[in-house]
Amino acid sequence: MVIFSTIPEGLISVDCSVDISYGADIAKAKEVLMAVLQSDKNVLKDPMPFTAPTLRGNQKAFCFRLFSHN
CATH number at residue 49: 3.30.70.100
Q: What is the value of pTM for the model shown?
A: 0.75
Instruction: Read off the pLDDT of residues 9-40 as tens digits, 9 standing for 90 and up.
Output: 788 999 998 888 878 888 898 899 899 999 99
Number of domains in the chain: 1
The residue among 67, 54, 64, 69 whose CA lies nearest residue 32 is 64
pLDDT score of 70? 75
Who's near 23: CB < 8 A, 6+ residues apart?
none
Give the dihedral sign, CA 33/34/40/43. positive
In whole angstroms, give the CA distance from residue 12 to residue 67. 6
Residue 48 per-residue DSSP state: P
Range of the domain at 63: 2-69
